[in-house]
Amino acid sequence: MQAVLLRYRVSVRLGGAGIKVEGDEIEVGIKSEPERGRANRELVKKLAEHFGVPVQNIRIVSGHTSRKKLVDVF
């Protein structure tokens, strides 16, 4: 079976809790501070729960230190 790859533009906002999807753009609210990768780990976990895939199937392609990220889901 071949994996399906979906690419999304993700905007992260601090202090929020929800996920809003519009086309290939997703806005995710997170509570973790952007220290030592905590915010990115929370983002990956939330996206994995949202898409119903393991966290290993979420990859941040670019924007590791930015609020705007490019994320692959497979």
Q: Identify the CATH number of the domain in which residue 52 sits.
A: 3.30.1200.10
Give residue 2's pLDDT. 55
- Please state the domain count of the chain: 1
Question: In this predicted model, what pLDDT tens digit does every residue of 2-61 receive, in sequence order?
Answer: 577 899 999 999 988 899 998 889 999 999 988 999 999 999 999 999 999 999 999 999
Identify whether 21 is part of a domain. Answer: yes
Identify whether 67 is part of a domain. Answer: yes
Give residue 54's pLDDT. 97
Q: How far apart are CA 22 and CA 15, in angstroms?
A: 20
Identify whether 45 is part of a domain. Answer: yes
Give residue 17's pLDDT. 82
Give residue 45's pLDDT. 97
Identify whether 28 is part of a domain. Answer: yes
SS3 percent helix, strand, coil of the chain, rounded to 5, is 25, 40, 35
Give residue 16's pLDDT. 81
> Can you name the residues that pair with 19 across neighbouring β-strands?
28
Identify whether 34 is part of a domain. Answer: yes
> Can you name the residues that pair with 34 across neighbouring β-strands?
none
Identify whether 1 is part of a domain. Answer: no
> Can you name the residues that pair with 11 across neighbouring β-strands?
27, 68
